Amino acid sequence: MKKINDLENLAKKYRRDLFEKLLVIKQGHPGSIFSMIEIIVALYHGGFINYDSKKNLFLNKVLISKGHATAALYPIMRDFGILPEKEWDNWGHKESLLRVFGNISIPGIDVTSGSLGHCIGIGAGMAVSYKKSGQNKKIYVIISEGELYEGSTWEALLFAKHNKLDNLSVIIDINSLIILGKTRDCLNLDPIKDKILGLGINALEVDGHNLSDLISIFEKANKNGELNCILAKTVKGKGSSVMENKKKWHYWNPMSKEEIEKTRKELG
Amino acid sequence: MLQRDVFIGEINKYLEKDKNIFFLSADFGAQALDELRKSFPNNFLHCGISEQAMLDIATGLALEGNKVFVYAMAPFLALRSIEQTKCGAGLMNLPICLISVGIGLGYADAGPTHYTTEDFACFRSIVGSSIYTPADTATTKLIANELLEKPKFSYIRLDRDALPNISPEITKIDLNKGYRIFGKVNNDKIVLISHGKMLHKCLEIYNNKSDRFVCVDILRSKPFPKDLPKDFSSCRGIVVVDEQSPSGNLSSCVFEAFSEQNYFPKIISKSLPEKYVFENGGREYLLNKFGLSNNDIIQACEKII
């Protein structure tokens, strides 16, 4: 496993890479992507997603249920060599394999997502399959806090708990913003932790931008032998003062030269 | 015997040799399912009364290479979870088989929440789906075996009631073709096209006057049998009978298939009306009241004449 300092540098690098790419394609969801960068860096580079270099694939699964942010995985796939460098370079051109929303035709992307509220159920199906076939694989499902509004999220959690799916971890990216504003103002979701605990499911809280804490919590979740929900407190648009905690940066927005330079400097 | 027991019975037989099957139910039962749960508990998943999660769970299982059958009452499996079906089986082209029970007014007198009079239109709009509507147990058995051998994204529309067996019995050639014809085709005859329960009404009419009618059982309505229009290109006229609401039912498939191949016979659609049915009285009473009695169908044929 890499040192925490190295992981922090990787997180910065991925934010920079993605910012430059979004700047070119002028679309995408920077706020949601930047809020989950440390989570995926901890998973992929912190030793939780086993990489089989001979087969050039990951043995464990990561399902990005908040499909508008799947693009966060593209530079990771590129760096592992799963996604050809030329595909990354090509992103933004008409014939590119990469999309704003991920799908299973993209190397390293395990699910086609975009419509919210699907992936806990999909992950639960995979988890059942692994358990019944004796495969020692894990599934990490990253959902947005906004997906807690979807009934299918809770249906799937009930199923996962009942079936004791200890090979499934649900990571809730809680950046407290949805498209129209703060969740507590639009339709209050709090207290999220109590609602998860009410289902009898472990609820582990963590600073979603602290790599050391994220790695500790993933280790803890792996050891406790239960289904876990990890409540990661994050900042939408993390890393750019132009974007941070601003609802409009759910989507890409035109930027002035000054804003671009400021963001580049902050992400540096 | 109920179609559902036949279908699940075939799965039970298959499970003896292939354990790579998952059967998911949204709290919907059958005698044969009791047997499956008893004999193959590891292959059964109760998903709660949660059709949406059930389809997502099925997606995860199918992504891992399992054969997956999901099972629920028709109105809820077809409509409640249709977006999950689109995003899973549809977008990712997964071989999930949806077994839907109680199509049409099958759940008379439960009322319109339990009637399934729009599932055909909804499902045929989902890209990549295949749709089967068996009219008897022999057909149900053949469809089940085909999907067990070669799983694909499919929607199976089963009747709630036990339907009479049809003679002569269906053959595998019929199923491959997607339809079977009762009677000899000639230019003077009117063609009755239907599937499921309504096929039996058409068969009654045909059996009474086989010199005037030909009857066609559409076994697989999607992809629609491409050879069918050519077989009836010069017939006197066609009446399509479907226990569905007027928009997008089986007649739409027939209209589209014929016009795509530049055949333009007179086609009349006999379906339920554009209204929700709240009356009691049982399925036959409701069918008679809302335009799907044998007499209604014969009157439609007379319009052609």
pLDDT of residue B234: 83
Its domain, for residue A198, covers: 4-267
**Model confidence at A50: pLDDT above 90:** no
Would an 8 Å CB–CB cutoff place A110 in contact with chain B?
yes
CATH assignment at residue A119: 3.40.50.970
Would an 8 Å CB–CB cutoff place A123 in contact with chain B?
yes
Q: Which of A115, A128, A131, A133 to probe by mutation at the B interface, max B CB count within 10 Å?
A: A128
- What are the tens digits of pLDDT across the range B25-35? 999 999 999 99
Whether this model's ipTM surpasses 0.85 comes out as yes
Residues of chain B positioned with their CB less than 8 A from the CB of A111: 63, 92
Rounded to whole angstroms, the Cα distance separating A63 from A42 reads 15
Locate the chain A residue with the closest alpha carbon to B88.
A112
Rounded to whole angstroms, the Cα distance separating A86 from B271 reads 55
Work out the percent of chain A whose per-residue pLDDT is above 70: 100
Give the minimum alpha-carbon distance from B57 to chain A in angstroms, rounded to a whole number. 4
What pTM value is reported for the model? 0.97
Q: Which domains does chain B have, with CATH numbers?
A: 3-158 (3.40.50.970), 178-304 (3.40.50.920)
pLDDT of residue B305: 79
pLDDT of residue A139: 98
Would an 8 Å CB–CB cutoff place A199 in contact with chain B?
no
Mean pLDDT lowest for which of A49-53, A165-169, A215-219, B60-64? A49-53
**Ranges of chain B with pLDDT below 70:** none
Cross-chain residue pair B50–A158, CB shorter than 8 Å: yes
Tally of structural domains, chain A = 1
pLDDT of residue A151: 98
Would an 8 Å CB–CB cutoff place B85 in contact with chain A?
no
Residues of chain A positioned with their CB less than 8 A from the CB of B85: none
The residue-averaged pLDDT of A184-195 equals: 97
Q: Residue B87: which of A115, A125, A158 has the nearest Cβ?
A: A115
- What are the tens digits of pLDDT across the range B223-271? 999 999 999 988 999 999 999 999 999 999 999 999 999 999 999 999 9
**Model confidence at A1: pLDDT above 80:** no
Would an 8 Å CB–CB cutoff place A151 in contact with chain B?
yes
Cross-chain residue pair A122–B83, CB shorter than 8 Å: no
- What are the tens digits of pLDDT across the range A57-110? 899 999 999 999 999 999 999 999 999 999 999 998 888 899 999 999 999 999
Q: Residue B60: which of A112, A125, A132 has the nearest Cβ?
A: A125
The residue-averaged pLDDT of A179-199 equals: 97
CA–CA distances in Å: residue A62 to residues A108, B33, B274: 9, 34, 46
Backbone CA torsion sign across B184, B189, B191, B196: negative
pLDDT of residue A94: 83
Taking one residue from A and the other from B, the number of pairs with CB-CB distance under 8 angstroms is: 92
